[in-house]
Amino acid sequence: MSNATASSIETPTLAVSTVIFTLRPNQDGCLQLATPLVRRIRAPFEGQWALPGGPLQANEDLASSASHTLRDTTGLEPRYLEQLYAFGSVDRAGGKLAERVVSIVYWALVGADEAGRAIDSENVQWFFADDLPSLAFDHNEIVHYALGRLRNKLEYSRIAHVFLSETFTLAQLREVYEAVLGRELDPGNFRRMVESSGTVEETGERLAGTRHRPPKLYRATAQAGETK
Partner DNA sequence: TTGCCTTTGAGTCACTTTGACACTAAGATG
Partner DNA sequence: CATCTTAGTGTCAAAGTGACTCAAAGGCAA
Rounded CA gap, 122 and 88, in Å?
A: 29
Classify residue 203 as exposed, middle or buried by CB count within 10 Å of its CB (0-12, 13-18, 19+): middle
What is the smallest separation between the CB atom of 171 and DNA, expressed in angstroms? 3
Q: Of 227, 161, 171, nearest to 198 (Cα)?
A: 161
Q: Is 117 in the site for DNA (CB under 7 A)?
A: no
Q: Nearer to a second copy by C-beta: 1 or 222?
A: 1
Could you say which residues in the range 15-44 bind DNA, by CB under 7 A? none
**Which residues make up the interface to a second copy (CB under 8 A)?**
1-2, 4, 7-8, 10-14, 54-62, 68, 72, 83, 85-86, 88-90, 100, 102, 104, 145, 228
Q: Nearer to a second copy by C-beta: 76 or 104?
A: 104
Count of C-beta atoms within a 10 Å radius of residue 91: 10
Q: Is 169 in the site for DNA (CB under 7 A)?
A: yes
Of the residues 171, 198, 201, 221, which one makes contact with DNA according to CB under 7 A = 171
Choose from DNA, a second copy, none: what does 151 bind? Cβ within 5-8 Å by kind.
Answer: none
What is the smallest separation between the CB atom of 209 and a second copy, expressed in angstroms? 42
What is the smallest separation between the CB atom of 190 and DNA, expressed in angstroms? 9
What is the phi/psi pair of residue 149, to 5°?
Answer: -65, -40
Rounded CA gap, 60 and 104, in Å?
A: 13
CB of 80 within 8 A of CB of 108?
Answer: yes
CB of 190 within 8 A of CB of 175?
Answer: no
Helix (H/G/I), strand (E/B), else coil: 49: strand
The count of chain residues that interact with DNA, using the rule CB under 7 A, is 19
The residues that touch DNA, with contacts defined as CB under 7 A, are 169-171, 186-189, 191-193, 206, 208, 210-216
